[in-house]
Amino acid sequence: MWHRYRRIVETLQAILITGLPFVRINGQSALRFDIAELKLYFFGSVIWMNEFYLILLAILFFMLFITAVTAVFGRVWCGWLCPQTVFLDLSDSIARRLPFLGRTFSRYTALLFFSALVSLTILWYFVPPAEAMLRLFRAPVITVFFLVQWVLIYAELAFLGRRFCTSICPYAMMQNALFDKDTLVIEYDRSRENECMQCDDCVLACPVGIDIKEGLSSKCIACAECIDACAVVTEKRGMKPFPGYRGNLLRPKSFWLGGMTVAAGLILAAMIYSRPAVSFQIYRDPEIMPEGINRYSWSLYNNTSQPRKLELLSEDGFVVIGETILELEPFSFSKGKVLVRSEGGKGSVLFKLLGDKVEIEKSVGFL
């Protein structure tokens, strides 16, 4: 039973992660990091790397999310969602369906294909899929990125496999600290130990080689294969399987941890989507200039999917010299310099940036 549910969840998860780079919102990938311009396309908006407060909040949200999910649902990620588990499970089931090719050969061949797919999928989170496929084996950087990842992922999946989960994975090590007595785990029912047939089918089914009868193990990835194996034996005798899920999901900790995670997510979303359409920064360059003239550097960030045409002006008493009509592509960044000449103005210049639904003022010192 759990095996079938797990396959459905694993397949949906694989489709979601592989398909997400193909989803476009406001003309850009739903989720993609643009290395060249150091910006993250985030579900119809854009986050710039200099927006540290958003990145810190996103990290806080992620940490809270991991803590809440692990404290309540235990190792559900490991057994049901982790790409490592998904691809090892899928390659094992392909190998089972192709016995004429030999289990080992078909498993390694399937893993070769899955590793290439994972490497491509990671690439698509940095380069739009159509562009990545067009430039694969033509652009050296993209080709090396793809091939190096492919080899590393294949080596990890084929030769480390489940040992990665039990000995290297940092998330697996962190989980023990987040568990409490009510966390959802798969446990052997000791109260019925005398009825157990000691057939060891549960041990044979376990992908990490645990004997669930010996009690909880930090190596358990909560895949529920032992429950299904035991159910085959016990159902014939009209009994419940001996291993089973145990835990208390509806406890105060679940609600306050879940509440904090939802609140952090809502605050993050509100901060991303309530930013001004255009972010404008301008500061005076320290270089010594002729008397009555200062030089200023400006930078502009278009946070929307609309192209922008803006005008940079100064208040009476100062004249801006240089390019004052500034054009921005959707989700783009631009920077430049202007000179400002005093025509009676003193102390500070009030810059004005005007455009469609944009009116920003910044006061900067003038020497």
Binding residues with ligand SF4: total (CB under 6 A): 26
Q: Is 201 in the site for ligand SF4 (CB under 6 A)?
A: yes
Q: Is 315 in the site for ligand SF4 (CB under 6 A)?
A: no
Contacts to ligand SF4 from residues 232-251, by CB under 6 A: 233, 242-243
Q: Is 358 in the site for ligand SF4 (CB under 6 A)?
A: no
Residues 16/20/25/27 CA torsion (nearest 10 deg): -150
Among 127, 132, 224, 340, contact with ligand SF4 (rule: CB under 6 A): 224
Cα-Cα-Cα-Cα dihedral sign, residues 201, 206, 210, 214? negative
Least separation in angstroms between residue 66's CB and ligand SF4 is: 20
- Assess contact for 239 and 191: CB atoms under 8 A: no
Least separation in angstroms between residue 195's CB and ligand SF4 is: 8
In this complex, which beta carbon is closest to ligand SF4, that of residue 135 or of residue 219? Answer: 219
Least separation in angstroms between residue 78's CB and ligand SF4 is: 9
Across the beta sheet with 308-314, the strand order is: 325-328, 308-314, 348-355, 358-365
Q: Is 104 in the site for ligand SF4 (CB under 6 A)?
A: no
- Alpha carbons 176 and 366: distance in angstroms, whole number: 59
Among 47, 222, 300, 326, contact with ligand SF4 (rule: CB under 6 A): 222
Neighbours of 69 (CB within 10 A): 18
Stretch that binds ligand SF4, among 22-30, 36-44, 217-225, 263-271 (CB under 6 A): 217-225
Q: Is 223 in the site for ligand SF4 (CB under 6 A)?
A: yes
- Assess contact for 97 and 113: CB atoms under 8 A: no
In this complex, which beta carbon is closest to ligand SF4, that of residue 241 or of residue 355? Answer: 241
Least separation in angstroms between residue 2's CB and ligand SF4 is: 9
Least separation in angstroms between residue 238's CB and ligand SF4 is: 13
Per-residue tokens: 253? 């900790």
Q: Is 220 in the site for ligand SF4 (CB under 6 A)?
A: yes
Rg (CA), the chain: 29
Among 226, 257, 264, 349, contact with ligand SF4 (rule: CB under 6 A): 226
By the criterion CB under 6 A, which residues form the site for ligand SF4? 186, 196-202, 205-206, 208, 210, 212-213, 220-226, 229-230, 233, 242-243
